Each structure stands twice: as C-alpha cells, then as structure tokens.
Amino acid sequence: MTEESRVAVLGAGLAGLATAAALGSAGFSVDLYEARPFPGGRATSWPVSGADGEAGDVIDNCQHVLLRCCVNLLDLYRRLGAEDKIRFYREYFFIEPGGRTSILKRGMLPAPAHFAGSFLGLAFLDLPDKIGIAHAMHVIPREFRTRRDLDQISMLDWLIEKGQTPNAIERYWRQVLVSAVNEELDRVAAAHGLQVFWLGMLARSDSYEMGLAAVRLRDLYDEASLAKTGAVRMHHRAPVTAIEYTPDSGVTAIRVSGQRVEADYFVCCLPFERLQPFMPELPIEWNAFQHSPITGIHLWFDRPITELPHATLLDRTIQWMFNKSEGRYVQLVVSASRSLTAMPRGEVIDLALRELR
C-alpha cells in the first residue's frame, strides 16, 4: 500500500460499510458507491405513510439483532462511534400458546454452566427434553473444535444423532437457530449450528446477551461516522453499471452512473444476483446461491398490548415479537419465511394478529 492507494467499494450494505471502515482505519483512501440515497442495505430504515398519505414514522425494515459474541459487528459500531447506541438485554422470554412465559437468563455459575438454574425452570420443556439438551450442549465444545464432518451433515442430522426429542428440536433448537441463521435446520450445516451455540451460549457467560439498536438503524451509520474511520467518501445514488475485467489484468475499472472510475483495488459487496450480470464469465456456479427470506411485520395499536421488551413465540409461525414503542407499536419477525412469501399481505397480517393474540 502506498499513501495514495485508493479502494473502490461497491455497495454500502453492512458488508460494504465494514469494509470501508476497516480499510479507512488502515490508511487507505476509500470511495464507497451505493445506488440508494442512504447506506445500510437490508439493515436500514424507511418512511411509512401516515393517515391521508401524510408522512409517518421512519421505521426499520426489519428487526436486526446482535449478540455480544458478534465481535465483528461490534467492532464496526466501535469504529463508527455507535457502540453506545446499542442496548443489551440479559433475559429471553419464551411465550407458549395460552400465555405461559418462561425466562432464560444467566445465573451465578461460571460459563458454560451459567444457564443451569433458569434452564431447569423452563416450563415449555419436559424432563426428557432437558436431559437431551443438556447432553448435547455438553458435547458441543468438543465436537465443534475436533469433529471434521460437521460441514457434511445438517444441524437436524446432528440433533437426531444426539437423541433430541421432537419437542426439544421444535421448541428449543429450532427456535434459537432459525432466528440466528435465517434458515431451517435441515438446510444449515451442523458446523454453523454448533458455532451459534458455542460462541453465543457457552463460551462466555455474557456472550448470549441480545443487542438491539436504541435508535433507528439509519442513524447508526452515515457520512460523518464513516469519516471518523479515515479517508472514506460515501457516494449516494451512485449505482455501479459495469465492471471492466479481463482474466489477465483482473478488474481495471468500474462504471458508476455511466462514468468510468479507476482505483488501485476493488472490493465488491453487492448481492450475487447484482454481480453476475457484470461478470458472468467468472468460474462461479451462480445457481448454487439462493436467498433465504425473512419477513418483518409492523403493527400499531391504540393501546399498549405488552410490557415485555421482546419475546420468542412458541408453536407459531411468528417467531419473535419486539416492543418498539411503549407496547403500542410491535414488530414481528419470521425467519426463513418461505411459507409467507406467496401469501397476500392481508393474510399475513391476519395470521400475525391471530398468533399474537
């Protein structure tokens, strides 16, 4: 790297923002190109219309969550000076149909036994469920570090191998993992499932704590915060329209809104379906990539409906509820929501209200 080394970063989603912040901190001169008028990609905020078409609230497109074990995302927030805008919660609320609520939180014992007390008190699990889960959790640290076939089997395969009951799989393992990785257990490699539980639930007594933005997602990152990381310039409404590439020279330039842009280095942080038209000759099996949908449902009520800050909802399509404003505005989240993507909007809302009720 020379003092004048320039990097062009394509796309200002979280990947692009993290790339730009890290390179800016390392002394590179960075230009970050984003097609939309604001950064954040899928982790952003947008205005909703109020009554009579008037401007309403600015809301997050979906509830984004991090744990204390998400060290890379926390590092990005630290670089941007936004770490004090994240609020962490130490209790997880599990609500069964009918309203019975169980709480998972750490106790006085050190990791990995810090959940022992509250885990034994979880009312939605039977004794055989808890015995099986405890056995599986006991072997996770060893198998995550030493077992070599975890990329070849699914998380569901691993759970069946470990003798987990159907109730434990559905109400505990699936409830945690589908929300964490946005994919079903039979489509997740066991390596990733074990990583979630090792890093998020076992390695440290505080690693499970759930962090939620105390401000709108759009307020976590902007030009001013990026400038704190170094020579980083954000270009809004600057869609990449072409990538100049040859097998011998690699990427030599990009075109942004029709203008040719050169740099010493290029980093692509675009979704795969955006990159393929620009570089179809790359030796990549494009059909191997698929999106897993996630659905956020925003509901406003004329009175508070809950005092809980958040809760996971058992035995329902809706997986999580988040209290966004005094119990009157709640956001519901369904990860890996393929069952909802073809449903009309009204049917999704009816389903959400029925299950929330």
- pLDDT averaged over 10-residue windows placed end to end, the chain, 357 residues: 81 95 95 93 83 69 93 94 95 96 96 96 97 97 96 98 98 96 96 97 96 92 89 94 89 93 96 92 90 94 95 96 95 96 95 94
Q: Has residue 69 been placed in a domain?
A: no
Looking at 188, 208, 228, which one is the last position of a domain?
A: 208
Beta-carbon-side half-sphere exposure of residue 125 (alpha carbons within 13 Å): 26
Q: Are residues 196 and 154 in the same domain?
A: yes
Q: Has residue 14 been placed in a domain?
A: yes
CA distance 235 to 41: 14
Q: Has residue 79 been placed in a domain?
A: no
Q: Are residues 105 and 197 in the same domain?
A: yes
pLDDT value at residue 2 = 55
Q: Has residue 128 been placed in a domain?
A: yes
Q: Are residues 47 and 32 in the same domain?
A: yes
Count of Cβ atoms closer than 10 Å to residue 246 Cβ: 9
Q: Are residues 59 and 150 in the same domain?
A: no
pLDDT value at residue 58 = 86
Q: Are residues 135 and 175 in the same domain?
A: yes
Q: Are residues 336 and 282 in the same domain?
A: no
Q: Has residue 88 been placed in a domain?
A: no
Looking at 236, 256, 288, which one is the last position of a domain?
A: 288
pLDDT value at residue 1 = 54
Looking at 272, 288, 304, which one is the last position of a domain?
A: 288
pLDDT value at residue 51 = 55
Q: Hunting for tokens 């600057």 — which residue is that? A: 238
Q: Are residues 171 and 190 in the same domain?
A: yes
Q: Are residues 50 and 26 in the same domain?
A: yes
Q: Has residue 17 been placed in a domain?
A: yes
pLDDT value at residue 56 = 67
Local structure of residue 202 (DSSP, 8 states): I
* Strand, helix or coil for residue 27: coil
pLDDT value at residue 289 = 93
Q: Are residues 282 and 296 in the same domain?
A: no
pLDDT value at residue 64 = 92
Q: Are residues 143 and 199 in the same domain?
A: yes
CA distance 196 to 175: 13
pLDDT value at residue 286 = 92
pLDDT value at residue 153 = 98
Q: Are residues 264 and 299 in the same domain?
A: no
| Domain encompassing residue 112 | 97-208
* Strand, helix or coil for residue 9: strand
> Which residue from 66, 46, 65, 64 is spatially nearest to 56, judged by alpha carbons?
46
Q: Has residue 126 been placed in a domain?
A: yes
Q: Has residue 78 been placed in a domain?
A: no
pLDDT value at residue 50 = 61
Non-local CB neighbours of 213 within 8 Å, separated by 6+ positions = 60, 64, 85, 86, 87, 220
What is this structure's pTM? 0.90
Beta-carbon-side half-sphere exposure of residue 82 (alpha carbons within 13 Å): 27
Q: Are residues 104 and 183 in the same domain?
A: yes
* Strand, helix or coil for residue 72: helix
* CATH number for the domain harbouring residue 49: 3.50.50.60
pLDDT value at residue 46 = 83
Non-local CB neighbours of 147 within 8 Å, separated by 6+ positions = none
Q: List Cα–Cα distances, 297 to 19, 59, 124, 281, 332, in angstroms.
A: 30, 11, 25, 39, 5
How many structural domains comprise the chain?
3
CA distance 85 to 290: 33
Local structure of residue 208 (DSSP, 8 states): T
pLDDT value at residue 3 = 58
pLDDT value at residue 190 = 98
